[in-house]
Amino acid sequence: MEIQLWREILAPYQLAVDELKVKFEHIIREHRSAGLYSPIEQVIGRVKSISSILEKVQKKQCSINQIEEYLDDIAGIRIICQFVEDIDKVVDIIRNREDMTIKSEKDYINHMKPSGYRSYHMIINYTVNTMNGPKHIRAEIQIRTLAMNFWATIEHSLQYKYKQNMPAHIREKLSSASEAIIQLDEEMSAVRDEIMDAQNSFQIKANIVSDILNNIQNLYKIANKREIIKIQDEFYKVYQVGDIEQLAHFSKQLDIIAEGYRAQSLS
């Protein structure tokens, strides 16, 4: 394969990574704007680097011209969750989507790798539309908790440093760190409901405050200045009390005032 063709070959994979990131980030936004806990905390995406592709070509003993056939992870998405329980939810979300189909799944959460690696892997079939028409590609989605990701990131860089010759004492440290990660995830799961409650309240409050500020800003453009200053002072008072019910009540009343001025649709 000609070196200058790399970019052309990888372009649809970059498009897939960009699209998939937007779609999964939208799931986070949808949950948060509805005041709901999002099972997805963060989404990371990458197209495999050319040097990593070349390494895989060697490992798989295929030719460079066969990379699209042999490599499932040229496009890679990593979904980070807060809790182990969220992983199943994300897997279900992906299984139920109509814009991707599942080619294969690997459960390294319940079947940890000997290295201590834990993550849920899904290979999906996905179609991107390019100027040459639709192109069917595969992408790898790795789903894991923040804690699992911390371990995997450190271990990956050590693997890169030592290749096949990782010293035994480092391997042992990684193995015991992996056990500690399992325990950490379990302990976090035990207080999951409380953490979710706290985060939900925070998100609900943030949404209400954002609605209020939006209304105040819109009213500034059309309403009587003295009235706006009164509303603003009232808002600071309610905000200082910090009670969500009061803030929600204030927001509803402000909606009615804004509706009177037809201010809600102003941008």
- Which residues are the active-site residues? 140
Q: Tell me the C-alpha distance between 96 and 257, whole Å.
A: 42
139 or 216, CB closer to ligand 0O2? Answer: 139
For the window 96-115, what string marks contact with ligand 0O2 as x by the rule CB under 6 A?
A: ----------x------x-x
Q: Residue 62 has which token pair?
A: 């295929």
Cβ proximity to ligand 0O2: between 64 and 209 the closer is: 64
**Residue 6 contacts ligand 0O2 per CB under 6 A:** no
Q: What is the DSSP letter of 140?
A: E
- Asked whether position 181 contacts ligand 0O2 by CB under 6 A, the answer is no
Q: Phi first, then psi: what are they for 142, rounded to 5°?
A: -105, 130
CA distance 262 to 36: 29
Give the shortest CB-7-to-ligand 0O2 separation in angstroms.
19
Return the residue of 121, 135, 192, 205 that touches ligand 0O2, per CB under 6 A: 121
Crossing angle for the helix pair 225-241 and 192-222, to the nearest 10 degrees: 170
152, 208, 219, 231: residue in contact with ligand 0O2 (rule CB under 6 A): 152
Q: Smallest distance, Å, CB 110 to ligand 0O2?
A: 14
Pick from 212, 209, 206, 205: nearest CA to 228:
212
155 in contact with ligand 0O2 (CB under 6 A): yes
Largest CA distance in the chain: 76
Distances (CA, A) of 86 to 70, 76, 91, 92, 205: 31, 20, 9, 10, 23
The reply to whether 171 sits near ligand 0O2 by the rule CB under 6 A is no
Which residues inside 45-74 make contact with ligand 0O2, applying CB under 6 A? 48, 52, 56, 72-73
Chain residues that interact with ligand 0O2, rule: CB under 6 A: 48, 52, 56, 72-73, 106, 113, 115, 117, 121, 152, 155-156
